[in-house]
Amino acid sequence: MEEITKAKVQQFDSMLREARCVTIAAHVNADGDAVGSCSGMLHYLCENRGLDAVVALPDRDAGVSSFLIPEEDRPFFLFHGSNPEEAERRIEGSDLIILQDCNGFSRTEGLASALEKAPAKKVLIDHHVGPETESFDLVFSTSEVSSASELLFFILMALPDIGGDAGKLPQMTGLALMTGMTTDTNNFANSVYPTTFDMASRLIAAGVDRDSILGQLYFSYKENRLRLMGFLLSKMTITPEGVAYMILTRRNLAHFGISEGETEGFVNLPLSIKEVRMSVFLKQDNGCFRVSTRSKKGVSARKFAERYFNGGGHENAAGGRLYFSDEISSIRDVVAYLEQSINDFFA
């Protein structure tokens, strides 16, 4: 992988050798890749390097990715959303900060100012476009990988103590990185590169139990999650431009007794329809709707999210927000804005 040069690996290795107190962070609304890459790094730093390392996330908890945090790991995960002082104190006292799965500190919301101000050395490991390189001492960034977990896997492989032997990774690191890659590729359905299969193959050879990961990710849902999915699909709108959209309100969630994090993946469903070129999923949040966009080749979900929803992301998988305002104050207004945006985008 071109991004992982000898010089950068050496620099990272010496940063780890000099570090005493490390904090690993990732983006808000942490997904499988964010939690997976953080847990993967955490176990490597603690078990193979003997470092004092913790993960700090902006959220209240790890939501659907909680299975990646077994009981004994909980003390090593700080959630700013539920205990801001603890997370901020830790960041202030760190001498190395590693940010993963986002292109800059602004994506860490509540953690951002503490991370920016911290006197620590800073490393970025990410697969999104537009890394904020000026905020970091060392940057590993390429969008030619499936996930931050995959990029981290190959960085670890290049470190002298691992020497390309995935068998030398802590067991939990292998499991966590495989999980992050699996969720970001939607189980090998998108953003898959030759290196992605290489990583999977080497981790399986090293004993990672993929069946148990798939069991946790895809065969452990609540009945009502599927019923909510059915409800939303039955109300889905498909525009003449081939854009499918679904709107999830707080009331829907309450009615089905489902948490917002459990609707992860819903946005992908409409793409199974031949005529659908892009899918847009809106979820009601505090004072806004969170917007997810997914597209097929030839349509840019990223541009759509950037242009109309203050967002960004990957070419075919992006997101943003639609804030309530004087003009947009009801679901009807949201639908009108969305329809108009779609019209404008394909005009």
Instruction: Provide the CA 311 distance to its chain's centre, in angstroms.
Output: 15
Min separation Cβ 20 and Mn ion, Å? 28
Min separation Cβ 31 and Mn ion, Å? 7
Sequence length of the chain is 347
Min separation Cβ 148 and Mn ion, Å? 5
List, in order, residues 6 or more apart from 322 with CB less than 8 Å away: 282, 288, 289, 291, 308, 309, 328, 334, 337, 338
Residue 325: both structure tokens together:
């305002």
Helix (H) or strand (E) holding 297: none
Is 33 or 88 the residue whose CB approaches Mn ion more closely? 33
Is 59 or 101 the residue whose CB approaches Mn ion more closely? 101
Using alpha carbons, select from 110, 108, 114, 111 the residue that is nearest to residue 126. 108
- Dihedral (CA of 163, 1, 96, 57) sign: negative
Candidate segments 182-190, 272-280, 281-289, 295-303, binder of Mn ion by CB under 5 A: 182-190
Candidate segments 43-51, 90-98, 144-152, 332-340, binder of Mn ion by CB under 5 A: 144-152
264 belongs to the binding site for Mn ion (CB under 5 A): no
CA–CA separation, 184 and 15 (whole Å) = 28
Using alpha carbons, select from 259, 249, 258, 280 the residue that is nearest to residue 346. 280
| x/- map, 92-121, Mn ion, by CB under 5 A | ---------x--------------------
Min separation Cβ 149 and Mn ion, Å? 7
126 belongs to the binding site for Mn ion (CB under 5 A): no
Q: Tell me the residue nearest to Mn ion as measured from the CB.
A: 33
CA–CA separation, 86 and 61 (whole Å) = 14
Q: From the CA atom positions of the chain, what is the Rg in Å?
A: 20
184 belongs to the binding site for Mn ion (CB under 5 A): yes
88 belongs to the binding site for Mn ion (CB under 5 A): no
33 belongs to the binding site for Mn ion (CB under 5 A): yes
Is 23 or 147 the residue whose CB approaches Mn ion more closely? 147
Is 64 or 148 the residue whose CB approaches Mn ion more closely? 148
- Which stretches of the chain bind Mn ion, using CB under 5 A? 33, 101, 147-148, 184
